[in-house]
Structure 1
């Protein structure tokens, strides 16, 4: 098994897209990238912990590749917006690919450049590729939110503007 970690705004919206494929063992909501140990949701939401909301994926690369994960990731975010994602604004909602190995760094860099070269977006692709740091699991009520609170999840996605953006840019 390998790990992949992605920040794409609200972690509630980042679990389901990855949680439906063979080869994906787990998708866990959490926090990464900050300077505060054991942050809480409130610490991260205030924006002064330095952490981003992330999902950490445990996967079997012989069944589902890192490149496939990257393809899904890019299609869940606005890679041109470094101020947050959709209705969720602020530092903790910035997009980023956290890489766990040199191989992941190389693949993420190639994937990001391919997206930039595609001409799909008129603005630059600014999503950061960063070394993975300590991962802190988010509170239990954040885990698998789309399963636990399907109506709240659906309403949040609708109001966020995420689905409209994905439809306009990816026909999703």
Structure 2
């Protein structure tokens, strides 16, 4: 490997419907790819229909491939707190069920440390009047979702706007204050 080779990393976040988790990360500098998929469950290669039953143990999540020199993991975690409600363990906004629970999946001890420190800082900040319940778990296999779920905000912008207006947009306004 030469000095000029870029070393990319991945981050996996779950925070409700993966359709709404792609766009906030996809538009950042240093992001190479954002893939919608499933992780954290016990069934290999699950389908959307299987995950929707809530019986596979998976969350809908996004896997973000990024250049940490341009977009450090710490900044991705900070944005995650702004797009997922860390106080709602059983879903996000209009998305209800275990498959929509908020989880930060780490793939290294460094990511784990950054996520845990960030969670502690958020809890101390007083922004929320409820406890921070987002789990921080070791990443396991990530299964890309079916093609029709990829880049949904680009493929069906009207439906994406409808999904986004289900509470997430109001939540994000809170962070801008």
Q: Which TM-score bucket, shorter chain as reference?
A: over 0.9
Unaligned runs of 5+ in 1: none
Unaligned runs of 5+ in 2: 1-7
Q: Does 1:144 align with 2:172?
A: no
Q: 2:168 aligns with which of 162, 165, 171?
A: 162
Q: Match of 1:54?
A: 61
Q: Does 1:3 align with 2:13?
A: no
Matches within 5 A, 1:72-83: 72-83=79-90
Q: Does 1:171 align with 2:138?
A: no
Q: Which has the larger radius of gyration?
A: 2
Q: Quote the offset at 1:170 in angstroms.
A: 1.0
Give RMSD over aligned pairs.
0.9
TM-score in terms of structure 1 length: 0.97
Q: Does 1:93 align with 2:92?
A: no
Q: Quote the offset at 1:156 in angstroms.
A: 1.4
Q: Quote the offset at 1:164 in angstroms.
A: 1.4
Give the distance between the partners of 1:163 and 1:112, measured in 2 at CA. 22
Q: Match of 2:160?
A: 153
